[in-house]
Amino acid sequence: MKPTNPRLAKKHTKAPKKTLGEFIIENQNQFGYSTGELSRLLNAIKLASKAVNHEVNKAGLVDIIGSTNQINHSNEEQQKLDVFANQVFKRALINRQIVCGFASEEEDDFVVISSSKNNSQNNYVILIDPLDGSSNIDTNASVGTIFSIYRRVTSSDKPVSESDFLQKGINQVAAGYILYGTSTMLVYTTGFGVNGFTLNPALGTFYLSHPNMKYPSSGNIYSINEGNYFHFPKGIKKYIKYCQENKNGRPYTSRYIGSLVSDFHRNLIKGGVYLYPSTLKNPNGKLRLLYECNPIAFLSEQAGGAATNGKGRILEISTEELHQRTPFYCGNKAMVKEIDNFLKLS
Ligand code: AHG
Ligand code: MN
Ligand code: MN
C-alpha cells in the first residue's frame, strides 16, 4: 500500500465550515442582554435574504426588472425589486414578531410593530436599505441589502417612537449587508469584529468563509462617481488629482460599481476608499445616514478602517430625520485620513 500523502490527509481532517446559524448561536453570549432575541432577528434576516437572492437570480427571466413608475421619499424611482425586497424583509420581521419597529428607504415613515405574543414589546428596531444599487438590476451587476439594528431607548411597555430610530450610529448593536454578487454573501458585525458567510446555493446554507475580516494595512483603490467632478468640493477635486499622480505608489486604481455594498466589499478585501461627497445637486451628499452610512461605517471601523463625513466620525453624527443624507468617505484608515486632510486644507 502506498504511504498516505500527508497533504491529502490534512485536507481530509479539515474541520467542516461553520454555518451562519451555528455561528449566531455560538456567539449570542457576547451581548449584555443575551435573551436570544437578537439571534432570532439575525436568523430572520438570513431567511429573507435567501428569498431576495432567489428573486434577484431570476431577474431577466420573470417580470421583475424595471421601474414601478413610483418614487420613494428620497425622490428616487422605485424599481420592482426595491419594492419586492422591502416586502420580503418587512414580512419576515413582522410575521416573526421579533422587532418592535421597522424603517426602510422604501417607506416614508417608520412602522410600529406590536407584539401579540405577550404584553411586553420586543426590544430591537431595524432600519434597512432593502436593495442597494438598484439601478444595476437591469444590467445584471451586483446589488445588496444593508441593515442596521438598535436596542430601543423608550420603555418597552409602549409602542416605539421616532427616538428609537434616530439614535447615533455608535449605539448600533448589529449591522451588516448581503451582497448578491458572483456568489451571495452575508457580512455582519455585532461589535466583535466582522464575519462573512457565503451561500452554498445547492444547500441553501450560509457558511463562514471570511472570519474576522480586516482591511489590508494599505490600499490603492478609490471609488467615486467621477462624472460629478465639476460639482465636487475643491478638496475632493484635489484628492482625485492626487490619486492620479504618478508618485510614491500612485496612481491609485479607480473602481466604481455604483452599488455601495459592492464597492465597500471590494475595498474591504483589496484595500481602498469609497467617496460620495457633497455635490452642487446634493449639498448633503446622496447617501442616507441611517440605513446606508451608519451600518457601513460600523462595519468599516470593526474591520480596522474608518468612516467620516469629512468633518468627523459618521457614527457620532446627530440624527434628525429618518431619510437624512450625509457626505460619506469610508475605507482604509490612512486613506480616509488623507481625504479628511484634503478637505480641511482646501
Ligand atoms: P440605492 O440603490 O439604495 O438608492 O443606493 C444607491 C446609492 C449607492 O449604492 C451607490 O453607491 C450610489 O447611490 C450611486 O450613486 P450615483 O449613481 O450617483 O453614483
Ligand atoms: Mn442604497
Ligand atoms: Mn435601495
For the CA of 257, the nearest ligand: 1
Domains contained in the chain, number: 2
pLDDT score recorded for residue 293:
99
76 and 35 inside one domain? yes
Asked if residue 305 and residue 184 are part of one domain, the reply reads no
Contacts of 99 (CB under 8 A, 6+ apart): 41, 93, 113, 122, 124, 125, 126
pLDDT of residue 79: 86
CATH of the domain at 33: 3.30.540.10
> Which pLDDT score is estimated for 32?
67
Say whether both 202 and 142 belong to one domain. yes
Q: Are residues 267 and 296 in the same domain?
A: yes
Q: Is the dihedral of CA 136, 222, 307, 190 positive or negative?
A: positive
212-222 confidence digits (pLDDT tens): 999 999 999 99
Residue 200 sits in the same domain as residue 260: no
- Ligand 1 pocket member 167 (CB < 6 A): no
Q: What is the pLDDT of residues 306-334, one digit of tens each?
A: 999 999 999 999 999 999 999 999 999 99
Residue 311 included in any domain: yes
Residue whose cell numbers read 429618518: 322
CA of 242 to the centre of ligand 3 (A): 31
Range of the domain at 225: 221-344
Nearest-angstrom CA–CA distance, 177 and 197: 11
Same domain, 183 and 116: yes
Mutate which of 80, 107, 260, 273 for ligand 1 pocket (most atoms within 8 A of beta carbon): 260
Residue 151 pLDDT greater than 80, yes or no: yes
pLDDT of residue 157: 85
Chain segment 198-236, per-residue pLDDT in tens: 999 999 999 999 999 999 999 999 999 999 999 999 999
Do 153 and 108 share a structural domain? yes
Q: Is the CB of 77 under 6 A from ligand 1?
A: no
Average pLDDT over residues 156-163: 92
Taking CA atoms only, the protein residue closest to ligand 1 atom 17 is 258
Question: Do 137 and 283 sit in the same domain of this protein?
Answer: no
Residue 2 has pLDDT above 70, yes or no: no
The model's pLDDT over 282-299, given as tens digits with 9 standing for 90+, comes to 999 999 999 999 999 999
**What is the reported pLDDT for 302?**
98
HEC per residue, 62-111: ECCCCEEEEECCCCCEEEHHHHHHHHHHHHHHHHCCCCCEEEECCCCCCE
Indicate whether residue 133 lines ligand 1 (CB < 6 A). Answer: yes
Does 76 sit in the ligand 1 pocket, CB within 6 Å? yes
235: its cell numbers: 478638496
- Residues 6 or more apart from 114 whose CB is under 8 A from it? 100, 121, 159
Specify the CATH number for the domain of residue 228: 3.40.190.80
Q: Are residues 257 and 123 in the same domain?
A: no
Res 226: pLDDT:
97
**Does 259 contact ligand 1 (Cβ within 6 A)?**
yes
Cell of 109: 415613515
Residue 170: CA atoms inside 13 Å, Cβ hemisphere, count? 8
- The CA 281 to ligand 3 mean position distance, Å, reads 19
Contact 182, 174 (CB under 8 A): no
Helix (H) or strand (E) holding 239: helix 234-244
Best residue for ligand 1 mutational test, from 70, 284, 287 (most atoms within 8 Å of Cβ): 287
Question: What is the arithmetic mean of pLDDT over 248-262?
Answer: 97
Cα-to-centroid distance, 257 and ligand 1 (Å): 9
